[in-house]
């Protein structure tokens, strides 16, 4: 862990701390206060909905980061695990009348369980073959949800109750934003803690060289399954937040394309870093809004080519961004952020 010159740990508590210095604490509190206050007090419902979608994407990418970034596995079915979370919380609340406070975390555990099942092939196969196995998860889960009859609502999906604890129901976007923000903080803390724990180190060892990791006594079977479970747990929680925000879920909400873009934008943000999912999610959601804003104007400006090019402009731009990052900065925006931090710490000195 890189720290500014002169900052030392004096005890184990300090050594284990996620946030190390007073400056870091101050910056974090100021940032969170600013973003929450601005969004809560001054943000329109549109802005809040974008913020909530960004939070959902960050949590999803954090989950994917465990599988791809830390453990070096691959998953192109992450969106399906979100669907498991979304459908689980809804079914638990509407069919089994389990309160939100229990059904919400249960959604994460259901997704983790399903993720565990689809992780089993990862013990025997990797790379391209594992990608195909997770692709099967995407299709299989989608098919089961679509043909699940009354349980999953089939073609029509399910209507989702609002989030609430006891008699308190979250009815406004402001309230839901705060709820999502709290969940994001908890999940981020959890992610960072795992990254710095024995488990996180084992994940990284498996990623860097699984044979060497096994020789060192790391149980590859256990840690690969664990990575998939934790990643799917995050996806399940993100799916549950999605469900209680949209108030209706449908199998079309969790498509293969989403899974692929999650993977692409995790690369853009920075694989295997805590900040990567945050950068990736901001770029993904931001680009989507930007493209939606710009496309009709461009289409009106060039009517002759609108159907050929502008109808797929979002896909073209997403793809270009991912390709550019893969070519020129494969370690993602997080790498640039780290370089920037190093630069301003040393500024005006060049060394």
Task: Report 240-259 residues binding another protein (CB under 8 A).
Answer: 245-248, 250-253
Please, which residues have CB within 8 angstroms of residue 266's CB and are 6 or more apart in sequence? Answer: 61, 64, 65, 68, 69, 276, 277, 280
Question: Per this entry, what is the length of the chain?
Answer: 351
The tokens describing 140, both together, are 């299989």
Q: Of 35, 155, 320, 346, which one interacts with another protein (CB under 8 A)?
A: 155
In the bound complex, what is the minimum distance in angstroms from residue 291's beta carbon to another protein? 8
* Closest of 162, 334, 298 to residue 241, by C-alpha: 162
Write the interaction track for another protein spanning residues 52-81; mark x where CB under 8 A is met and - where it is not. -x----------------------------
Q: How many residues bind another protein (CB under 8 A)?
A: 37
* Closest of 260, 295, 264 to residue 279, by C-alpha: 264
In the bound complex, what is the minimum distance in angstroms from residue 171's beta carbon to another protein? 9
Burial of 62 per CB tally in 10 Å (0-12, 13-18, 19+):
buried
The dihedrals phi and psi of 249, each to the nearest 5 degrees, come to -120, 150
Distances, alpha carbon 14 to alpha carbons 7, 59, 86, 186, in Å: 11, 27, 38, 20
Q: Of 99, 127, 286, 296, which one interacts with another protein (CB under 8 A)?
A: 296
Q: Of 62, 65, 122, 295, which one interacts with another protein (CB under 8 A)?
A: 295
The tokens describing 95, both together, are 């069919």
Of 9-17, 111-119, 272-280, 286-294, the segment contacting another protein by CB under 8 A is 286-294
- Residue 306 in the binding site for another protein (CB under 8 A): yes
Q: Of 131, 144, 178, 299, which one interacts with another protein (CB under 8 A)?
A: 299
Task: Report 25-44 residues binding another protein (CB under 8 A).
Answer: 44
Distance CA 157, CA 240 (A): 14
Please, which residues have CB within 8 angstroms of residue 292's CB and are 6 or more apart in sequence? Answer: 314
In the bound complex, what is the minimum distance in angstroms from residue 167's beta carbon to another protein? 20
Which of residues 248 and 341 has its CB atom nearest to another protein in the complex? Answer: 248
In the bound complex, what is the minimum distance in angstroms from residue 306's beta carbon to another protein? 7
Distances, alpha carbon 285 to alpha carbons 74, 106, 126, 318, in Å: 22, 27, 30, 11
Write the interaction track for another protein spanning residues 171-210; mark x where CB under 8 A is met and - where it is not. --x-------------------------------------
Which of residues 38 and 292 has its CB atom nearest to another protein in the complex? Answer: 292
The residue ranges that bind another protein (CB under 8 A) are 44-46, 48-50, 53, 146, 154-157, 159, 173, 245-248, 250-253, 288-289, 291-293, 295-296, 299, 306-307, 310-314
């Amino acid at each position: 862990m890189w720290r500014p010159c002169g900052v030392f740990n004096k005890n184990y508590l300090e050594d284990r701390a996620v946030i190390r210095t007073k400056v870091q604490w101050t910056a974090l509190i100021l940032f969170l206060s600013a973003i929450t206050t601005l969004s809560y007090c001054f943000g329109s419902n549109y802005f809040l909905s974008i913020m909530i979608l960004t939070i959902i994407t960050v949590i999803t990418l954090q989950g994917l980061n465990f599988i791809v970034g830390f453990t070096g596995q691959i998953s192109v079915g992450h969106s399906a695990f979100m669907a498991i979370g979304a459908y689980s919380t809804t079914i638990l609340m509407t069919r089994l009348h389990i309160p939100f406070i229990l059904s919400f975390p249960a959604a994460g555990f259901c997704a983790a369980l399903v993720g565990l099942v689809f992780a089993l092939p990862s013990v025997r196969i990797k790379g391209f073959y594992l990608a195909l196995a997770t692709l099967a998860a995407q299709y299989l889960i989608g098919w089961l949800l679509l043909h699940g009859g009354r349980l999953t609502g089939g073609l029509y999906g399910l209507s989702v109750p609002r989030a609430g604890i006891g008699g308190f129901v979250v009815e406004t976007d402001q309230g839901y934003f705060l709820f999502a923000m709290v969940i994001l903080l908890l999940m981020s803390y959890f992610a960072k803690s795992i990254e710095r724990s024995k488990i996180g180190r084992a994940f990284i060892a498996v990623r860097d060289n699984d044979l060497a990791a096994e020789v060192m006594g790391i149980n590859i079977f256990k840690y690969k399954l664990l990575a998939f479970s934790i990643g799917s747990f995050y996806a399940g929680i993100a799916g549950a937040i999605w469900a209680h925000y949209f108030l209706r879920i449908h199998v079309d909400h969790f498509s293969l394309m989403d899974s692929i873009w999650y993977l692409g934008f995790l690369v853009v943000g920075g694989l295997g870093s805590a900040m990567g999912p945050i950068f990736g999610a901001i770029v993904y959601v931001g680009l989507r809004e930007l493209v939606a804003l710009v496309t009709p104007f461009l289409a009106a400006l060039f009517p002759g080519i609108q159907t050929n090019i502008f109808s797929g402009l979002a896909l073209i731009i997403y793809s270009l961004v991912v390709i550019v990052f893969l070519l020129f900065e494969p370690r993602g925006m997080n790498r640039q952020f780290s370089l920037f931090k190093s630069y301003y710490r040393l500024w005006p000195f060049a060394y």
